[in-house]
């Protein structure tokens, strides 16, 4: 499978970066063709430009500024998204990747009559989220109800890639995680990616 592994963390020595490296290694060992996208290292600018927003409903929306990332997305049969949750949400750079790269004519097509949008990522079959929370499980899942996961699954993927299956692997209470707990999480990531 052609898998794009996306990392959204500014520090190359972060735990998220270690999770990303573990995932990429396991995916390659399992025989997948992996393309890595490190949004911070690539200097990705997450904010929509004024011109992009003004043209958002144009039939020929211009993705020239993010064309390399658009090509990677269109080629992807699988996605592995690695990021921490900050304030119970994705990092701004990852939100911007969705805003700018999952664009009209790429991830979806507007229904000119004002109805539902038409999904265009029909080759995207599987998405894995590898993430962490500084908060304990009960706070992220019971109290906050994990808004970022709900938006990704019920919003973005349902609209743009409705056939994609989503797997979600999170390390909770990251701020107090011991070395043993982190190692156990990396082992779970490796197992999940071998079965991807």
pLDDT at 142: 77
Average pLDDT over the chain, rounded to whole?
94
Tell me what the mean pLDDT of segment 100-121 comes to. 90
CB atoms within 10 A of CB 176: 9
Tell me what the mean pLDDT of segment 153-158 comes to. 92
The CATH topology of domain 2-194 is: Rossmann fold (3.40.50)
Percent of the chain with pLDDT over 90: 82
- Whether the model clears a pTM of 0.85, i.e. scores above it, the answer is yes
Extract the tokens encoding 194.
């071998």
CA distances from 133 to 85, 91, 124, 165, 182 (A): 5, 12, 26, 22, 12
The pLDDT confidence band at residue 169, using thresholds 50, 70 and 90, is very high
The per-residue pLDDT for range 58-84, each reduced to its tens digit, is 888 999 999 999 999 999 999 999 999
The per-residue pLDDT for range 179-191, each reduced to its tens digit, is 999 999 999 999 9
């Amino acid at each position: 499978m052609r898998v794009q592994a996306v990392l959204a963390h500014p520090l190359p020595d972060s735990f998220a970066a270690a999770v990303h490296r573990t995932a990429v290694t396991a995916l390659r060992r399992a025989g997948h063709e992996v393309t890595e996208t490190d949004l911070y290292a690539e200097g990705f600018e997450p904010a929509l430009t004024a011109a992009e927003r003004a043209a958002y409903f144009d039939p020929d929306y211009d993705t020239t500024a993010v064309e390399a990332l658009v090509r990677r997305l269109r080629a992807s049969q699988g996605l592995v998204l690695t990021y921490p949750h900050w304030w119970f949400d994705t990092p701004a750079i990852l939100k911007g990747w969705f805003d700018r790269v999952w664009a009209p004519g790429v991830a979806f097509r507007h229904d000119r009559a004002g109805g539902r949008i038409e999904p265009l990522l029909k080759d995207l079959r599987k998405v894995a989220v590898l993430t962490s929370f500084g908060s304990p499980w009960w706070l992220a899942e019971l109290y906050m109800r994990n808004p970022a996961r709900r938006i990704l699954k019920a919003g973005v993927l349902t609209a743009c890639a409705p056939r994609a299956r989503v797997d979600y692997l999170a390390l909770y209470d990251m701020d107090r995680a011991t070395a043993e707990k982190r190692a156990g999480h990396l082992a779970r990531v490796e197992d999940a990616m071998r079965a991807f």
